[in-house]
């Protein structure tokens, strides 16, 4: 396939979520033992709801799937209601037939965080690498918890969160002072190692970050901009998130041609 970076603009959040779920489902159906990289936050919730619906209708089987999550707050217990461990089980894993032993989420309570991060990278390698990595994007253009200034070759590690990220995440905790200041996150280099990347963005608040990631220079100040360097990327946006793109008409045209090509090729 010669379409390197596909920017898909959907009408709204629901349509965006359905499209992303279809891409993930296609990956699982073509490779039942697929390795999925998963994300948390409000943006992927619609995708997870669609995947659950597909599973409940009987046409999507997760029994051989393996998963690796992008990140987790440091020193937040897995049973804390705002941990990403709790988020994933509540919003996806408890509602599909994935095997618990096939689920990997960074351990924010690890006593030796350096050794844990090395072992997380090793587990990804042992699984054969991530087949498709789901991503959101922060308002400052970060992916995972790879804040502005992160090394573009970074691997899984402990990362200090910016004040902006802490403020953005305070809505989940009730007050800003309760938000952890550190997180364990896959690095930019780890993310680039996935065979496919699938980034989602919804709402006008993400429009500037989306523009900088897709149409700006590749920069450590906008870590999502590294998607431009990957050979197989889907960026799925609703119209508001795409509102600052200067070439949106071209992206829409390219996607129509891509769909036509795939239909004729039977892929």
Q: CATH number of the domain that 148 lies in?
A: 3.40.50.1360
pLDDT at 1: 52
Give the per-residue pLDDT at 2. Answer: 59
Residues 108, 83: contact at Cβ < 8 Å? Answer: yes
Q: At what angle do helices 13-30 and 45-56 cross, to 10 degrees?
A: 50
Residue 97 near residue 28, CB atoms below 8 Å: no
Q: Number of folded domains in the chain? A: 1
Below-70 pLDDT ranges, the chain: 1-3, 267
> Which residue range is the domain that position 110 belongs to?
5-265
CB neighbourhood size of 34 (10 A): 21
233 φ, ψ (degrees, to nearest 5):
-130, 135
Measure the CA–CA gap between 25 and 242, rounded to whole angstroms: 24
Q: Over the stretch 239-266, which tens digit does the pLDDT of each residue have?
A: 999 999 999 999 999 999 988 998 898 7
Active-site residue set: 71, 140, 142, 147
Q: Assign 228 to helix, strand or coil.
A: helix
Rounded to two decimals, the pTM is 0.96
The pLDDT of residue 266 is 79
């Amino acid at each position: 396939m010669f379409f390197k970076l596909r920017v898909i603009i959907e009408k709204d959040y629901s349509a965006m979520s359905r499209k992303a779920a279809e891409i993930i489902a296609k990956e699982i159906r073509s490779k039942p033992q697929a390795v999925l990289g998963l994300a948390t936050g409000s943006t992927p919730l619609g995708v997870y709801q669609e995947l659950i619906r597909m599973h409940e209708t009987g046409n999507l089987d997760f029994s051989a799937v393996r998963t690796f999550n992008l990140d987790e707050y440091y020193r937040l217990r897995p049973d804390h209601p705002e941990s990403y461990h709790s988020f994933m089980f509540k919003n996806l894993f408890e509602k599909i037939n994935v095997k618990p032993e096939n689920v990997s989420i960074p351990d924010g309570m690890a006593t030796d965080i350096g050794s844990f991060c090395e072992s997380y990278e090793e587990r990804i390698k042992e699984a054969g690498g991530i087949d498709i990595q789901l991503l959101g994007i922060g308002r400052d253009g970060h992916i995972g918890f790879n804040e502005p200034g992160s090394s573009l070759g970074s691997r899984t590690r402990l990362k200090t969160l910016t004040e902006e990220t802490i403020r953005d995440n305070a809505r989940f905790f009730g007050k800003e002072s309760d938000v952890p200041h550190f997180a364990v996150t896959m690095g930019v280099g780890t993310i680039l190692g996935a065979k496919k990347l699938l980034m989602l963005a919804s709402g006008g608040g993400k429009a500037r970050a989306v523009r900088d990631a897709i149409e700006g220079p590749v920069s450590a100040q906008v870590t999502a901009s590294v998607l431009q360097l990957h050979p197989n990327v889907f960026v799925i946006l609703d119209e508001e998130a795409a509102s600052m793109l200067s070439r949106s008409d071209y992206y829409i045209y390219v996607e129509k041609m891509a769909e036509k090509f795939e239909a004729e090729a039977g892929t």
